[in-house]
Chains A and B, each alone.
Chain A
Amino acid sequence: MAVDKLTVKKIATLAKLEFNEEQAVSIQQDLSRMLDFVNKLNEVDTEDVEPLVYMLNERPTLRKDEPLQEISQQEALKNAPDKDTDFFKVPKVIKR
């Protein structure tokens, strides 16, 4: 199934991704191949099958409302590409 250029553009906007025309063509082809594969699966008749959302049948465990600090501020910021002593830094988000 062919994915059109507009769809690729829309998904890119939602995912905040940027690429050039050439890459767009290759992404378009990749996405089309993935959809083809999903369409192949669609050939199976699943009319009476409940969708599988959860891998376990167990009921979830709820947590008591007790605060527990497992990691420090320093550890939190450790993997950030950009930061200062207190904050994560990200490219300026223009305030409209």
Chain B
Amino acid sequence: MSVYNKYQAVIGLEIHAQLSTKSKAYASDSATFGDLPNTNISPVTLGHPGTLPVLNEKNIEFAVKLGLAVGATIRENNEFARKNYFYADLPKGYQITQDKTPICTGGFITLFPNTAKEKKIEITRIHMEEDAGKSIHDQDPFNTLVDLNRAGVPLVEIVSEPQISSAEEAYEYVTQVRKLLRYLEICDGNMEEGSLRCDANVSVMLKGASKFGERTETKNMNSIRNVKRAIEHEIIRQIDVLENGEKIEMETRSFNAVDGTTFTMRSKEEAHDYRYFPEPDLQPVIVSQNYINGVKTTLPTLPNELYKIYTKEFRLSEYDANLIIESKPLGIYYNELTQYTKNYKAASNWLNGNIKSYLNENGITIENFVIKPAKIAALIQLIDDGKVSNTVASQHIFPIMVKQPELEPLAIAEQNNLIQESNDDDLSSYIEQVIVNNPKEIERFRNGEQQLIGFLMGQLMKTSKGKADPKKANSLLREKLNQ
């Protein structure tokens, strides 16, 4: 047995999510990403003396939304605190955050929902705070440059219980949190741009041990994959240290994406002492039950509820249902599609099949897909009515619809002579031709080689140039051959 199997990992994650507000947390300057440096600023953001913070009401709304979505308890009396530290990108010298009174406590995130691996990870707390500015170290050889556009952008910090036990589970946890944030439309979840950030608290202990080992905190992973890589590396590193008879130091480490390793950023001695104290400039915000009930009515249907509707009411497979709830816009398209067709299965097949491959091939998203759901529903209806075959619909009609989305599928089918032939006379004439042209196969079939029906049907479809209604043609052909 490998030494690594003797240990188990204990992981807790802290996720910082930038809220998609238009203005900042405590002042009115714009919270937009990517503008010219130091243009989205205000005296409050710059930390000028005599300025006072005024809280953005959306901060509360978004935090409550998230709390409701994870089943947390929402605090009525929300106090703010100052977290003090000196750094050039934090002009006030403190971050306004919540210390002892986080807006949400409890609740959970479900990993691998609706599968055998399903596991609930409890949330310790969710609190509101603000982002710092950005320091740029590599543009000027003698100075660090500071851009304060990001300073004061509202954040929520989501802290999990140390119940995650592998890098794979951590990957899934961040994926689920991001999906939820995007469904709620409170954070765009873009890790590369830093609107979603994740710190990992990792420790290892012998399997079955009751006391956690000393932990490290790893930062600077700019993708979900890198969260997984960093944790994988950190688990192995800690086990190696312990197996060498050494001790794990409590410290802050940074992830190096180039080689997938972590290195010491701050040791315990250098750890910050934040000297929290109540923020006297912001009075406690009362979040009433009435207010919470109001926010509740604005919650969208969440992925897990959609999953239930899709599998139970729509009878989709688990696989198909999961593909649709993967992203909210896909779900929105599907929901609209099912307003126009009750053939839920076909709707899901079209979305997960032809439509998705078209989107992938052309690098576009479903929001920019040109064909309206009603038109796809009309196409499904054509197939269900036996007017066109599935093959003709996907290989001939769909490509034309993509180029001319204003056309009706039926009109396309008629104009291009694609309407399936299901009248007996036409079909009989195709069957006659097949019988005349394939005498040997016909004889073999009649002698018991039933599998040749496939070949004969192929010939029939070829003769009809794909227009024969395959179901009807098949039964007529069998009838004829068995006479």
Contacts and interface: CB of A to CB of B under 8 A. Distances in A.
Bound pair: A and B? yes
Interface of A: 10, 14-16, 53-56, 58-73, 76-77, 82, 84, 86-93, 95-96
Contacts of B145: 84, 86-90
B46 A62 contact: no
Given A62-B55, A63-B56, A92-B143, 14 more contacts: A66-B22, A69-B29, A69-B39, A73-B36, A73-B38, A76-B41, A82-B143, A88-B88, A88-B148, A89-B143, A89-B145, A93-B87, A93-B137, A96-B265
Contacts of B86: 14-16
Contact of A89 (B85, B140, B275): B140
Contacts of A82: 143
B286 interface: yes
Interface in B219-235: none
Contact of A63 (B28, B79, B87, B273): B28
Nearest to B143: A89
A70 B28 contact: yes
B142 interface: yes
A40 B369 CA distance: 73
Interface string B82-97: 0011111000000000
6 contacts: A14-B84, A55-B280, A62-B54, A65-B58, A69-B40, A93-B137
A93 B41 contact: no
Contact of A92 (B84, B137, B278, B283): B137
* Closest A-B pairs by Cβ, 8 of them: A87-B145, A68-B28, A62-B57, A88-B146, A67-B30, A65-B58, A89-B143, A90-B88
A60 B146 CA distance: 32
Contacts of B22: 65-67
A87 B38 contact: yes
B282 interface: yes
Contacts of B31: 67
A72 B146 CA distance: 16
A58 B145 CA distance: 40
Interface residues of B, number: 53
A69 B36 CA distance: 14
B286 A87 contact: no
Interface string B435-456: 0000000000000000000000
B460 to A, nearest CB: 65
A88 B30 CA distance: 19
B142 A64 contact: no
Given A63-B28, A90-B88, A54 B146 contact: no
B143 A65 contact: no
A87 B54 contact: no
A92 B30 contact: no
Interface string B115-151: 0000000000000000000011100101111111000
Contact of B42 (A10, A71, A86, A96): A71
B285 A87 contact: no
B216 interface: no
B261 interface: no
A61 B281 CA distance: 12
B56 A65 contact: yes
Nearest to B133: A88
A75 to B, nearest CB: 9
Given A60-B282, A90-B143, A76 B58 contact: no
B383 interface: no
Contacts of B275: 14
B286 A86 contact: no
Given A65-B22, A88-B145, A89-B145, A95 B41 contact: no
